[in-house]
Amino acid sequence: MTFKNTKAFAQELDAKDVLKNYRSEFIFPQHNGKNVIYFTGNSLGLQPKIAKQYVDDVMNDWGNLAVEGHFYAQKPWWDYHERFANPLSKIVGAKPSEVTVMNTLTVNLHLLMVSFYRPTATRFKIICEEKAFPSDQYMFQSQVQSHGLDPKETIVEIKRREGEHNIRLEDVLATIASVGDELALVLIGGVNYYTGQVFDIKTITEAGHKAGAKVGWDLAHAAGNIKLQLHEWNVDFAAWCSYKYMNSGPGNASGCFIHEKHHHDKDLPRFAGWWGHNKARRFKMEPDFDPVQGADGWQISNLPILSLAPYLASVELFDAIGMDQLIAKRDTITAYLEFILHEIDKEVTSTFEIITPSNPSERASQLSVFLHGEGRPLFDYLMKNGVITDWREPNVIRLAPVPLYCSYEDMYDFGQILKQGILAIHQQ
Ligand SMILES: *Cc1c(COP(=O)(O)O)cnc(C)c1O
- Tens digit of pLDDT for each residue in 195-211? 999 999 999 999 999 99
Low-confidence stretches of the chain (pLDDT < 70) are none
In this structure, the residue with its CA closest to atom 13 of ligand 1 is 133
Residue-level pLDDT at 362 = 97
**Of 295, 312, 175, nearest in space to 247 by CA:** 312
Residue-level pLDDT at 334 = 98
Residue-level pLDDT at 251 = 96
Cis, bond preceding 310 (omega within 30 deg of 0): no
pTM of this prediction exceeds 0.95: yes
Residue-level pLDDT at 95 = 98
Cβ < 6 A, ligand 1 pocket: 104-106, 133, 135-136, 189, 193, 218, 220-221, 241
Question: From the alpha carbon of 189, which atom of ligand 1 is closest?
Answer: 13
Question: From the alpha carbon of 244, which atom of ligand 1 is closest?
Answer: 1
Question: From the alpha carbon of 109, which atom of ligand 1 is closest?
Answer: 7
In this structure, the residue with its CA closest to atom 1 of ligand 1 is 220
In this structure, the residue with its CA closest to atom 14 of ligand 1 is 220
Contacts of 60 (CB under 8 A, 6+ apart): none
In this structure, the residue with its CA closest to atom 3 of ligand 1 is 220
- Ligand 1 centroid to Cα of residue 72, in Å, is 35
- Ligand 1 centroid to Cα of residue 135, in Å, is 6
Residue-level pLDDT at 134 = 94
